Amino acid sequence: MKIGIIVFSKTNNTFSVAERLKVALIEKGMDAEIERIVPENDDPGVKPPIEFTNKPDVSPYEMVIFASPVWAFSLAGVMKEYLEQVSSLQGKRVFSFVTKQLASKFTGGIKANRQIKSAVNAKNGIIEKSFIVSWKNKNREAEITNLISEILKAV
Ligand SMILES: Cc1cc2nc3c(=O)[nH]c(=O)nc-3n(C[C@H](O)[C@H](O)[C@H](O)COP(=O)(O)O)c2cc1C
């Protein structure tokens, strides 16, 4: 199965999780690759419309995993805008994960995954599972391991 891990990451926390996931998927025999979403301007204050210097095409993938940081208790605006511009997700398996700094609940992870879900639904896709990794959580490693093992189980 051809799997695309489509990542926006400004300071590489999200990207580092994506890399571990990619390695695990490849070890399981999957054809997995990471594509980075690169905006022309990654300043969190930038207003839409956002232009992209790299805007990954999801059409080659049977399964897509969207990954993004939480910004200001919400999905990072760059990912929000990317998902508005992405092509149809109909018939694809779709997963998501977000990373954030704060360990406590209500710091944006649930909302960000809900925003990804709505955006994916708007492109005729369905999110099978979504995950949150809290960078300052003492259980961060367990959250990452769980995310990887749940996705491996699903493929
Ligand atoms: C502009 C901005 C806003 C942020 N807002 C939140 C927030 O509301 N809640 C939170 O837990 N972390 C917040 N963070 C922290 C990031 O979500 C966290 O460091 C994330 O892992 C960064 O991912 P990246 O390294 O892939 O860019 C914010 C970071 C930035 C730069």
The answer, yes or no, to whether residue 104 has pLDDT greater than 90, is: no
Which of 17, 19, 101 is the pocket-test mutation for ligand 1 (most atoms within 8 Å of CB)? 101
What is the enclosing helix (H) or strand (E) of 154? helix 140-154
Q: Domain of 77: which CATH number?
A: 3.40.50.360
Name beta bridge partners: 31.
2
Q: pLDDT of 45-68, one tens digit each?
A: 988 899 999 999 999 999 999 999
| Both tokens assigned to 26 | 């490849």
Q: Which residues line ligand 1 (CB under 6 A)?
A: 9-15, 44, 69-73, 99-102, 107-108, 135
pTM, to two decimals: 0.98
**C-beta atoms surrounding 76 within 10 Å:** 25
Going from the Cα of 1 to the center of ligand 1, the distance in angstroms, rounded, reads 31
Q: Give me the number of domains the chain comprises.
A: 1
Q: Which domain holds residue 70?
A: 2-154
> pLDDT category, 105, cuts 50, 70, 90?
confident
